[in-house]
């Protein structure tokens, strides 16, 4: 009886809808496994289609193409190791999220996902039918049980697999990133390992799709909880692993254990890689942004430069008579430090023309927010014109604090195709900027060193839409605002609970009102990478029209 089993794990980055390209990636991983003497090569959940597909997966023509691609892949990968790969299965009546197992040119097993997630960013109940719990399948000497992603978050599937003869658990995932999620995954997988007594392989994909990024971080646990393998986060990787039969059952031989970056590096990496994939998978390669001299636009410029390189990033300063000399200098300093092009397009002329056109209608009314927002909308108009002419996607630069309370101008500074900071609170913006100044990594395409001048980080935030304007004229100080928002959004606390934590009721009620009142703006806002479990859009789906307020 054979006492060794060689498994190749492919932690790769598929693209939604790119069936042929995804199949080519799978075949390349299979060939790497064949060269290493693997018995099986494993890829992740729904790899052939990319993930998440949303309602694309319920289109019959797409499903037919995906299944045909999988069947062709089985024939192409006949002479070598078995191949496990995620993809859809239509049985003539129902559509399933399935894991296809191929060997010797044929499909030898299909595992159907049993638990369909229907919370946070997932809506699989809308798209798939729940399959019955499948038993293990045999590859060579080994019986393998495969709980698909969510199936491993519940004890019943793994226990059934163990009871029906599985000797290891292979868990293919499409598990998107949010801050500190790795610890949650490990805790759950340790529970499955303890309950079954089986070695467990947790295989996760990498790469971004729309607002989500998948962070990889695949790992292997032996009975007793020993970590046999830790793959890198965010990087594509193909790793070969050997299981050996022992008197107590199968166990993985210890191999590479990659250290994990801290949460600041992981958040920054998520923003960089998400932007890079959003553009690359859309067929775009260049961006522009309004560089105001403030901290938010400076951080977006750094993220864009690290994602694409300085030659692919255009910064535009759009000054008015309210723009300070220090802002002009700071914008120039950021562009110079990053090595990006900086153009200057003054807005006084277009602003004055718009105000002159509106003067008869506005006559007799005091100047105020309407005139301030004309400036922001002039900037949005000019930036979109440059985007159209130059073929460069416009990035917006509003942080989560501003997006939450509507401290942004719709069709003005909210204009653009993508927002890297959409799920990053302002107080974290400061820390991330300092982190980037002190750290450089091989995956960054921008220069090392201090790319965001300290003066940009330290000066009081201002929209500069009127003289001597400061954000705190309209909002609570950001440490207070963010602490209240985190309780209202991430923790879903009541007003009374937030007040009990030490915040003034008047301030909490003001923030609550701004949060609910800005829903219509968020509905029209650009997508941005998810960094928390309560990112705006799919994690938090509130009505635009909402008359309820918490008076408790």
Rounded Cα distance between 114 and 104, Å, is 27
Domain annotation for the chain: domains and CATH numbers: 4-256 (3.60.110.10), 264-523 (3.40.50.620)
Task: Report the percent of the chain where pLDDT is more than 70.
Answer: 99
* Pick from 248, 315, 260, 249: nearest CA to 286: 315
pLDDT tier, 421 (very low <50, low <70, confident <90, very high otherwise) = very high
Cβ atoms 438, 454 nearer than 8 A: no
Residue with tokens 């309950």: 195
User: Which pLDDT score, from 0 to 100, does residue 452 have?
Assistant: 97
User: Which pLDDT score, from 0 to 100, does residue 284 have?
Assistant: 96
Helix pair 505-517, 478-485: axis angle to 10 deg: 70
- Mean pLDDT for all residues in the chain: 96
User: Which pLDDT score, from 0 to 100, does residue 385 have?
Assistant: 98
Rounded Cα distance between 433 and 300, Å, is 10
Catalytic: which of 45, 167, 392, 464? Answer: 45
Cβ atoms 174, 112 nearer than 8 A: no
Mean pLDDT for 233-246 is: 97
Read off the pLDDT of residues 142-153 as tens digits, 9 standing for 90 and up: 999 999 999 999
Rounded Cα distance between 369 and 70, Å, is 57
User: Which pLDDT score, from 0 to 100, does residue 470 have?
Assistant: 76
Rounded Cα distance between 245 and 196, Å, is 17
The whole-model pTM stands at 0.96
Read off the pLDDT of residues 352-389 as tens digits, 9 standing for 90 and up: 999 999 999 999 999 999 999 999 999 999 999 999 99
Supply the Cα-derived Rg of the chain in whole angstroms.
Answer: 26
**Does the pLDDT value for residue 1 go beyond 70?**
no
pLDDT tier, 471 (very low <50, low <70, confident <90, very high otherwise) = confident
What lies within 8 Å, CB to CB, of 321 at 6+ separation is 348
Residue with tokens 């998948």: 214
DSSP 131: P
Question: For the chain, how many residues are written?
Answer: 552
User: Which pLDDT score, from 0 to 100, does residue 464 have?
Assistant: 66
- The C-alpha angle with vertex 327 and arms to 322 and 331, in degrees rounded to 5, equals 135
- The Cβ-side half-sphere exposure at 275, using a 13 Å CA radius, reads 34
Rounded Cα distance between 398 and 262, Å, is 24
Read off the pLDDT of residues 37-59 as tens digits, 9 standing for 90 and up: 999 999 999 999 999 999 999 99
Cβ atoms 100, 112 nearer than 8 A: no
Q: Read off the tokens for 443.
A: 């995956």
Cβ atoms 43, 172 nearer than 8 A: yes
pLDDT tier, 443 (very low <50, low <70, confident <90, very high otherwise) = very high
DSSP string for 268-320: HHHHHHHHHHHHHTTT---EEEE--SSHHHHHHHHHHHHHH-GGGEEEEE---
Q: Is 113 tagged catalytic?
A: yes
pLDDT tier, 461 (very low <50, low <70, confident <90, very high otherwise) = confident
3 state DSSP class of 364: coil
Longest dimension (CA), the chain: 94
Rounded Cα distance between 116 and 515, Å, is 31
Q: Read off the tokens for 470.
A: 């400061």
User: Which pLDDT score, from 0 to 100, does residue 520 have?
Assistant: 96
User: Which pLDDT score, from 0 to 100, does residue 347 have?
Assistant: 96
User: Which pLDDT score, from 0 to 100, does residue 552 have?
Assistant: 76
Which stretches within 318-465 are classed as H helix? 325-338, 348-362, 369-390, 400-405, 426-438, 454-458
Residue with tokens 């990087």: 235
User: Which pLDDT score, from 0 to 100, does residue 124 have?
Assistant: 96
**Does the pLDDT value for residue 527 go beyond 90?**
yes
- How would you list the strands of the sheet with 95-103, edge to edge? 106-112, 95-103, 82-90, 40-42, 4-11, 237-246, 249-252
Catalytic: which of 25, 77, 149, 315? Answer: 149
Task: Report the percent of the chain where pLDDT is more than 90.
Answer: 94
For residue 5, the surrounding DSSP H or E stretch is strand 4-11
Cβ atoms 292, 331 nearer than 8 A: yes
3 state DSSP class of 428: helix
Cβ atoms 489, 534 nearer than 8 A: yes
Secondary structure, 3-state, 441-505? CCCCCCCCCCCCCHHHHHCCCCCCCCCCCCHHHCCCCHHHHHHHHHHHHHCCCCHHHHHHCCCCH
Q: How far is residue 257 from each of residues 79, 253, 441, measured CA to CA in Å?
A: 31, 12, 19
Catalytic: which of 25, 113, 422, 534? Answer: 113
Q: Is 45 tagged catalytic?
A: yes
User: Which pLDDT score, from 0 to 100, does residue 139 have?
Assistant: 97
């Amino acid at each position: 009886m054979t006492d060794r089993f060689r498994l190749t794990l492919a932690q790769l980055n598929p693209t939604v809808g790119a069936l042929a390209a995804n199949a080519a990636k799978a075949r390349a991983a299979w060939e790497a496994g064949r060269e290493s003497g693997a018995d099986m090569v494993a890829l992740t959940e729904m790899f052939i289609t990319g993930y998440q597909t949303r309602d694309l997966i319920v289109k019959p023509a797409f499903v037919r193409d995906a299944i045909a691609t999988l069947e062709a892949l089985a024939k192409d990968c006949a002479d070598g190791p078995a191949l496990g790969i995620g993809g859809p299965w239509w049985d003539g009546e129902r559509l399933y999220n399935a894991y296809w197992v191929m060997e010797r040119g044929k499909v030898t097993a299909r595992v159907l996902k049993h638990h369909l997630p229907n919370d946070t960013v997932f809506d699989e109940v809308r798209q798939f039918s729940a399959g019955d719990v499948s038993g293990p399948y045999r590859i060579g000497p080994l019986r393998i049980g495969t709980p698909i992603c969510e199936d491993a978050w519940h004890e019943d599937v793994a226990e059934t697999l163990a009871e029906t003869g599985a000797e290891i658990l292979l868990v293919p995932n499409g598990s998107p990133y949010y801050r500190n999620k790795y610890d949650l995954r490990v805790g759950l997988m340790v529970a499955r390992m303890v309950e079954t007594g089986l070695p467990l392989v947790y295989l996760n994909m990498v790469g971004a799709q729309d607002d989500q990024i998948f962070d990889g971080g695949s790992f292997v646990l032996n009975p007793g909880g020993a970590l046999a393998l830790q793959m890198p986060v965010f990087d594509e990787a193909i790793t070969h692993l050997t299981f050996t039969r022992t008197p107590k059952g199968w166990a993985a031989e210890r191999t590479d254990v990659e250290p994990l970056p801290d949460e600041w590096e992981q958040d920054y990496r998520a923003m960089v890689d998400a932007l890079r994939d959003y553009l690359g998978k859309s067929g775009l390669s260049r961006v522009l942004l309004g560089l105001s001299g403030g901290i938010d636009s400076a951080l977006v410029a750094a993220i864009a430069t690290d994602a694409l390189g300085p030659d692919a990033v255009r910064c535009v300063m759009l000054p008015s008579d309210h723009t300070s000399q220090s802002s002009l200098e700071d914008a120039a300093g950021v562009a110079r430090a990053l090595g990006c092009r900086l153009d200057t397009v003054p807005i006084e002329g277009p602003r004055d023309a718009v105000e002159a056109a509106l003067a008869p209608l506005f006559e007799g009314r005091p100047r105020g927010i309407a005139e301030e927002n004309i400036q922001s909308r002039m900037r949005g108009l000019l930036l979109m014109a440059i985007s159209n002419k130059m073929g460069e996607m416009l990035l917006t630069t509003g942080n989560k604090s501003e997006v939450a309370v509507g401290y942004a101008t719709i069709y003005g500074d909210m204009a653009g195709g993508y927002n890297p900071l959409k799920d990053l609170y302002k107080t974290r913006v400061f820390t991330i900027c300092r982190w980037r100044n002190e750290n450089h990594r091989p995956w960054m395409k921008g220069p090392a060193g201090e790319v965001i001048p300290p003066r940009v980080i330290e000066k009081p935030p201002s929209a500069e839409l009127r003289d001597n304007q400061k954000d705190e004229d309209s909002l609570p100080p950001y440490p207070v605002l963010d602490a209240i928002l985190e309780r209202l959004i991430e923790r879903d606390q009541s007003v009374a609970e937030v007040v009990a934590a030490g915040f003034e009721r008047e301030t909490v009620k003001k923030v609550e009102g701004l949060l609910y009142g800005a829903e219509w703006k968020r509905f029209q806002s650009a997508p941005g990478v998810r960094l928390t479990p309560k990112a705006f859009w799919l994690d938090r789906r509130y009505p635009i029209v909402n008359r309820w307020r918490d008076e408790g």
